[in-house]
A = this chain, B = another copy of it.
Amino acid sequence: MSPNPDKPAYSPAIQSLLPMLYVAWADRVLSPTEAGLLRLKLKELDFLSENDTKILASWTDPGNPPDRELFQHWRILIHRALQKSSVEERKTLVDIGLEMASAYGRSDSGQWTGQTRTRNALEELEKGLEAIDIKTYQSLFPHEKEEPGQGKIPQHGLTKILDDDYHELRNRMRILLSDPAFEYQNFRSKETYRDQVLNWCTLLAKQGLGALSYPEFAGGKNDMGQYAAVFEMLGYFDLSLTVKFGVQFGLFGGSIMWLGTEKHHKKYLEDAGSLKLPGCFAMTETGHGSNVRGLETTATYDAKTKELVIHSPHIKAGKEYIGNALQGRMATVFAQLIVDEKNRGVHAILVPMRDENYKLLPGIRVEDNGYKMGLNGVDNGRIWFDQVRVPVENLLNRFGDIDQQGKYSSPIENPSRRFFTMLGTLVGGRVCVPRAGLSAAKSGLTIAIRYALKRRQFGADYASAETLILDYPSHQRRLMPLLAKAYALDFGLTWLTKRYLNRSEEDIREIETIAAGMKSYATWFTTDCLQECREACGGKGYLWENRFAALKNDTDIFTTFEGDNTVLMQLVAKGLLSAFRQEFHEEGMIGVLRYLGKRVSTNISERNPIIIRNTDPDHLRDSDFHLSAFRYREERLLYSVSQRLRTKIKSGVKAYEAALQCQHHLLQLAEAHVERLVLEAFLKGVKSSSDPKLEHMLKKLCNLYALHTIETHKGWYLEANYIESNKSKAIRTMVTQLCGEVRQDARELVDAFAIPEKLLGAKIIRKE
């Protein structure tokens, strides 16, 4: 297609449609409703040639927005047509289109006769698009200087900071999810709900969102960062959809991508990404949830037929809680791979479950998990395999293969390392889940804070107005630290995602540790935060119409899935200890001494009798003080628990038993580690703003996060003599004061989350 506007290659028919296409795409999103309407109406236009229809089909595919150049070309053509009319003349899109068709159409493509008989058809189309009421005629050239893609989404300087590298994609999601196709509904039947969620998921796949992290040949963009951003944005809408999306594209598709090899990618990824092939991620078993290595399903290699025989040896070895179990056609099954009568450890195998008519294949039994506390739009079920045979090609063989001679081989010799490497590739889920959980928490905070800025109760006396509930210090104490922590986690999780995207062989284990810790810390926060927000809205918070029922119930399982938080936190602590031991091992005694020296010097500077009593407000608001306190806590816990373990082991306690005895201590260490990382990320985030006003707002929030965390651990700090009584009291006073200061910015801070009104969907904050 020629980009030269003077010689348009378009037929008059297409020209007549350009203004409408331009408007529909103006926000870079062709929402399901727009796409549906366009396709329906275009079919009715009988003046389109076969070639026109082909071109228009490619321009109305939600997954393929017109590129910048093409869009620019449309813009120039339309602008030229507009220049002919005066500003007062308020033309419709149809007027402009018909003008364009006749002006240019005639000279190049011969006489175009469609004008009169099709005005009606076009007008109907325009009316339909306007009725969606997302974009209007106004958006044609709203602000000449603005880039397309901004639409009506509220813009706050902080939003861009929070949105980070994915501002445009997030805005696209904001627009997309505001489409009428995505409407909250209180589904009472799980079957209806599941059908709707599957339908929503298909709409997202059509937008090209399912395959984002896959290679381009599979319809993707090879961009896990975009995938993560989309997943997070889905967390502002229905969380069943979020989880279903994650199961299909992240877990099922992801397992093919990360555990399979090229043959699997070519064969399955495109269908996984388009949802043509719905699939399960069948890891957890009834008997083994957290302890994946203890799974009991077997995949036995039959050398005669070159098949793998998948089998559940007993009822508790059935796969448990598997998403997509009722609607999936294939499953990635994790099983003990037995080759030549030797167990090679857990591997993943693609096992067809249902035929094209969704009939279960022989040997496979599925049972519905039934109703759950929430997420009833996700079809979780149990799956058992009774001697199910699949060709050996179905083994996802990146980390373990069986050759033509029936010999097992693996690029990683050590079975334990192999197992952890395999699991490690799947860490993406742990990076994504806390982000969706945080979105839910932000929705809750926005609703609770906006309600508290509307609702009044009690007053000084009957003459004066009742007090706004956000003006109660107790209410500020409830909500402001949560708001600060939501921001802290936003920066922390963005930082984690970036590290994950830029991971290398060297730091992948470290990133896994951090992901495990952040996942736990963030999802516990989500649970606490939503509970507090619900209570802060009183009885109103209990009504379904105000969203907390869904938000709380749907996210409650986040502390358990993708790894039980308590188990994960122990992994974190053990990861830190082994890194610590490693350091000692490499540097020998000198390392220990250096470490102790550092510790002593910290002690001297930190536990300086002036500093431990310093209650100067500037000091209390000083980020260096906060960071030192966080680091001190982490290091001291690391040192003390490692000493305790050493002493125990030396005295003859077995390592496993010793770790058990120190469990509580280990969990504290893990928390201190995550908190230090989150604070560091927040501090970097504060400095990232070039606007001094925003920096100031963020700084206050960061102070609140840091000091409130120190206050929460004041028992520990006092015990460690890191602060003295008077300082502890001064910190409490300062936290209260900061809550009051942050309250002044509260509305701006929640608005900066830029959650579309429709997605908040709570009646209590609607204008009356």
Q: When the two chains form their complex, are residues A661 and B373 in contact, meaning their CB atoms are under 8 A apart?
A: no
Give A606 to B647 CA distance when docked, in angstroms.
35
Q: Mark A554-598, 1 if CB is under 8 A from B, else 0.
A: 001101110011100010000000000000000000000000000
* Cα–Cα distance between A732 and B665 once the two chains are bound (Å): 10
User: Given the complex of chains A and B, what is the CA–CA distance between A663 and B542 in angstroms?
Assistant: 25
**How far is the CB of A211 from the nearest CB of chain B, in Å?**
29
Assembly stoichiometry (copies): 2
| C-alpha gap A458/B458 in the complex (Å) | 54
Residue among A458, A472, A656, A714 having the largest count of chain B Cβ atoms under 10 Å: A458
Q: Return chain B residues, CB-CB under 8 Å to A527.
A: 531
Q: Which of A457, A545, A718 has the largest number of chain B CB atoms within 10 A?
A: A718
Query: How many Å lie between the Cα of A714 and that of B467 in the bound state?
Result: 34
Within 8 Å of chain B (Cβ to Cβ): is A539? Answer: yes
Tell me, rounded to whole Å, the shortest Cβ–Cβ distance linking A284 to chain B.
Answer: 7
- Chain A, residues 295-307, CB within 8 Å of chain B (1/0): the string is 0000000000000
Select which of B288, B372, B534, B664 is within 8 A of A549 by beta carbon. B372
A399 within 8 A of B: no
- State whether A660 touches B320 (Cβ < 8 A): no
B553, A538: Cβ atoms under 8 Å?
A: no
Interface pair A714/B725, CB less than 8 Å apart: no
- Can you list, as one digit per residue, whether each of A437-466 has a CB less than 8 Å from chain B (1) or not (0)? 000000000000000000001111100001
Interface assignment of A371: CB less than 8 Å from any CB of chain B: yes
Given A371-B549, A719-B714, are A654 and B460 also a contact pair (CB < 8 Å)? yes
A473 and B539 contact, Cβ closer than 8 Å, known pairs A288-B457, A549-B553, A728-B719: no
- Asked if A290 CB lies within 8 Å of chain B CBs, one says yes
Residues of chain B within 8 A (CB-CB) of A461 are: 656
With A372-B544, A663-B473, A663-B474: A715-B728 Cβ-Cβ less than 8 Å: yes
Contact B667 A474 (CB under 8 A): yes
| Interface check A622, CB cutoff 8 A | no
Picked from B188, B460, B557, B561, the residue with its CB within 8 Å of the CB of A656 is B460
Closest chain-B Cβ to A73's Cβ sits at a distance in Å of 51
Q: Cβ of A458: which chain B residues have Cβ within 8 Å of it?
A: 290-291, 294
Interface residues of A in 598-632 (CB under 8 A from B): none
A729 at the interface (CB under 8 A from B): yes
Judge whether A757 is part of the interface by a CB distance below 8 angstroms: no
Say yes or no for A370: interface residue by CB 8 A criterion: yes
Residues of B within 8 A of A467 (CB): 660
Chain B residues with CB under 8 A of A373: 534, 542-544, 548-549, 552-553
Q: Could you tell me which residues of chain A, from 719 to 736, have a CB within 8 Å of some CB in chain B?
A: 719-721, 725, 728-729, 732, 736
Min CB distance, A609 to chain B, in Å? 16
B721 & A664 in contact (Cβ 8 Å cutoff): no
Q: Report yes or no: B725 in contact with A284, Cβ–Cβ below 8 A.
A: no
Query: Is A535 within 8 A of B559, CB to CB?
Result: yes
A276 to chain B minimum Cβ distance, whole angstroms, is 29
Compute how far the CA of A553 lies from the CA of B549 in the bound complex, rounded to whole angstroms.
8
* Interface assignment of A189: CB less than 8 Å from any CB of chain B: yes
> Is B188 within 8 A of A660, CB to CB?
no
Cα A466 to Cα B288 with chains together (Å) = 10
The smallest C-beta distance from A429 to any residue of chain B, in angstroms, reads 15
Contact for A560 among B477, B539, B663, CB less than 8 A:
B539
- Interface flag for A657 (CB, 8 Å): yes
Residue of B189, B374, B566, B657 touching A460 (CB-CB under 8 A):
B657
Whether a CB of chain B sits under 8 angstroms from the CB of A289 is yes
A716 CB to closest chain B CB (Å) equals: 8
Assess whether A237 is interfacial by the CB under 8 Å rule: no
Tell whether A651 is near chain B: CB-to-CB under 8 Å.
Answer: no
What chain B residues lie within 8 Å of A118 (beta carbons)?
A: none
- Name which residue of chain B comes closest to A660, CB basis: B473
Is A227 part of the binding interface, using a Cβ–Cβ cutoff of 8 Å? no
Please judge, given known A-B contacts A188-B189, A654-B460, whether A370 and B719 are in contact too, CB under 8 Å. no
Among A290, A538, A660, the one with the most B-chain Cβ atoms within 10 Å of its Cβ is: A538
A534 CB contact (under 8 Å) in B556, B566, B657: B556
Residue among A289, A320, A548, A565 with the highest chain B CB neighbour number at 10 A:
A289
In the complex, what's the smallest C-beta–C-beta distance from A607 to chain B, in angstroms? 12
Which residues of B are found within 8 Å of A222, using beta-carbon distances?
none
Q: How far is the CB of A473 from chain B (nearest CB, A)?
A: 5
> For A557, what are the chain B residues with a Cβ–Cβ distance below 8 Å?
539, 542
Asked if A404 lies at the interface with its beta carbon under 8 angstroms from chain B, I say no
Confirm or deny: A709 has a beta carbon within 8 angstroms of a beta carbon on chain B.
no
* Shortest Cβ gap from A217 to chain B (Å): 36
8 Å CB contact of A466 from B294, B374, B664: B294
Name the interface residues of A44-60: CB closer than 8 Å to any CB of B. Answer: none
Beyond A284-B539, A457-B288, A657-B460, whether A664 also contacts B473 by CB under 8 A is: yes
Specify which chain B residues have a CB less than 8 angstroms from the CB of A460 in the assembled complex. Answer: 654, 656-657
CB distance from A45 to the nearest CB of B (A): 44
Asked whether A186 is an interface residue with its Cβ less than 8 Å from the other chain, the reply is yes
Closest B residue to A294 using CB positions: B466
Known: A472-B660, A729-B719. A535 touches B549 (CB 8 A): no
- Per the bound structure, the CA–CA distance linking A664 and B738 in Å amounts to 14
Q: How far is the CB of A483 from chain B (nearest CB, A)?
A: 17
Selected A-B contacts with CB under 8 Å, 24 pairs: A288-B457, A294-B458, A294-B466, A320-B539, A371-B543, A372-B542, A373-B542, A373-B548, A373-B549, A460-B654, A460-B656, A460-B657, A461-B656, A473-B661, A473-B663, A474-B667, A477-B664, A538-B564, A541-B560, A542-B557, A664-B736, A714-B719, A715-B715, A718-B719
18 more CB-based (< 8 A) A-B contacts, given A294-B466, A475-B566, A535-B566: A186-B371, A290-B457, A290-B458, A321-B539, A370-B543, A372-B542, A373-B534, A373-B553, A472-B663, A535-B560, A538-B564, A541-B560, A542-B557, A664-B732, A714-B715, A714-B718, A718-B719, A719-B729
* Closest 10 pairs (CB-CB, A-B): A718-B718, A715-B715, A373-B549, A714-B715, A371-B544, A460-B656, A188-B188, A474-B663, A473-B663, A542-B557
